[in-house]
Amino acid sequence: MTETSETNDTRPAVTMIGLGEMGTALATAFLDGGHPTTVWNRTPGKADALVSKGAHLAETVRDAVAASPLLVVNLKGNTAAREVLASAGDALAGKAVVNLTDGTSAEVTAVAEWTAGQGAHYLHGQIMTIAPGIGHPDAVVFYGGDKTVYDRFQSTLQLLSGRASLIADDPRAPVLYGMAVHGTMWGTLNGFLHAAALLRNEGIEVSRFLEDATPSVSALLSFLPSIADTVDRGDHAVEYGALKHHLPSIEDLFHESQARGVDAELPAYTLALVARAIDQGHANDNYSRLIDHYTNP
């Protein structure tokens, strides 16, 4: 297959490397969007459904890379991503590489620097949805890296998510954004499940609790921007809702959990953080003061 350039009349050819659950969803989005799509996977049989939809199956990574100006990679780990791309040899020069592989910021840096050394242009993306969400208007993908790649192929990348954005020229930024979202999610889910255990211990339906407490729970999320502002400014003084006022409620939650035989590790951890900050002279500060603990544990 010959390479197709992006023009006003032609959708650019895309090569999809990696056909796991997510890679298959990505390739399907490109095909449905009318893009000539070449695919490659270590196990060729995974491409059968895509080939039946019109995809071209490349026999080698080099053939796959040579077929398109835009290479999208989604593999299990950045070590694998680099190894697979390396097998393309000098065919990688001049290509736009959009790496949608999960990993750490250090791993992304290594792949980005190596890719640049091959004469290719690098953009990293962090997918914030599961495979069935690819292409949904509310799906999010954070991008960071070469702006020329993002600008050139923006309309193509928007096939993957309705909320795609270039957040930085640093390819590590999307990874950290993704981890920040997930960290917030897991913290929220763990807190909610601890609350659910406490309610169930008393025989209270959790769904009923949500019906009655939705305004209070929703208000918690609306509080995040003010927390972010105090963290960015480094000014944690607050007139209302200081740490000293959080302490009694946290103590009550800890003792109630213990008394009911509900795991108290989570409230105990929170209690220790707040008590320590108060002991250090921050009783009148915002809850945001606890950023100090996470920054300098």
Q: Which of 139, 169, 199 is the last residue of a domain?
A: 169
Q: What is the pLDDT of residue 126?
A: 97
Q: What is the pLDDT of residue 8?
A: 39
**Residue 108 located in a structural domain:** yes
Angle between helical axes of 243-260 and 173-201 (0-180°, round to 10):
50
Residues facing 40 on adjacent strands: 17
CATH number (domain holding residue 235)? 1.10.1040.10
Contact 142, 124 (CB under 8 A): no
The pLDDT tens digits of the residues spanning 197-229 come to 999 999 999 999 999 999 999 988 888 899 999
Q: How many residues does the chain have?
A: 297
Question: Burial, 43: exposed, middle or buried (Cβ in 10 Å; 0-12, 13-18, 19+)?
Answer: exposed
**Residue 3 located in a structural domain:** no
Do 162 and 62 fall within a single domain?
Answer: yes
Do 78 and 103 fall within a single domain?
Answer: yes
CATH number (domain holding residue 113)? 3.40.50.720
**Residue 244 located in a structural domain:** yes
Do 142 and 23 fall within a single domain?
Answer: yes
**Residue 27 located in a structural domain:** yes
Instruction: Report residue 243 as tokens.
Output: 């740490």
Contact 47, 57 (CB under 8 A): yes
Do 120 and 206 fall within a single domain?
Answer: no
**Residue 274 located in a structural domain:** yes
Q: What is the pLDDT of residue 5?
A: 41
**Residue 132 located in a structural domain:** yes
Strands across the sheet containing 121-127: 56-57, 37-40, 14-17, 70-73, 96-99, 121-127, 140-145, 163-168
Do 191 and 246 fall within a single domain?
Answer: yes
Do 159 and 214 fall within a single domain?
Answer: no
Do 198 and 129 fall within a single domain?
Answer: no
CA distance 255 to 93: 63
Buried b (16+ CB within 10 A) or exposed e, 167-197: ebebbbbbbbbbeeeeeeeeeeeeeeebbbe
Q: Which of 137, 169, 201 is the last residue of a domain?
A: 169
pLDDT tens over the chain, length 297 residues: 444 444 334 899 999 999 999 999 999 999 999 999 999 999 989 999 999 999 999 999 999 999 999 999 999 999 999 999 999 999 999 999 999 999 999 999 999 999 999 999 999 999 999 999 999 999 999 999 999 999 999 999 999 999 999 999 999 999 999 999 999 999 999 999 999 999 999 999 999 999 999 999 998 888 889 999 999 999 999 888 899 999 999 999 999 999 999 999 999 999 999 999 999 999 999 999 999 999 988
Domain residues for the domain of 186 are 177-295
- Counting the structural domains of the chain, the total is 2
Do 195 and 149 fall within a single domain?
Answer: no
Do 161 and 196 fall within a single domain?
Answer: no
Residues facing 96 on adjacent strands: 70, 121
Q: What is the pLDDT of residue 2?
A: 45
Please state whether the predicted TM-score (pTM) of the whole model is above 0.85.
Answer: yes
Do 60 and 158 fall within a single domain?
Answer: yes
The SS3 assignment for 97 reads strand
Q: Which of 169, 185, 213 is the last residue of a domain?
A: 169
Quote the DSSP letter at residue 285: B
Q: What is the pLDDT of residue 71?
A: 98
**Residue 181 located in a structural domain:** yes
CA distance 150 to 143: 8
Q: What is the pLDDT of residue 266?
A: 96
Residues facing 144 on adjacent strands: 124, 168
Instruction: Report residue 73 as tokens.
Output: 């990679």
CA distance 123 to 159: 16
Q: Are strands 96-99 and 163-168 parallel, antiparallel or unpaired?
A: unpaired
Contact 286, 242 (CB under 8 A): yes
Residue 165 has phi, psi (to 5 degrees) of: -150, 145
**Residue 1 located in a structural domain:** no
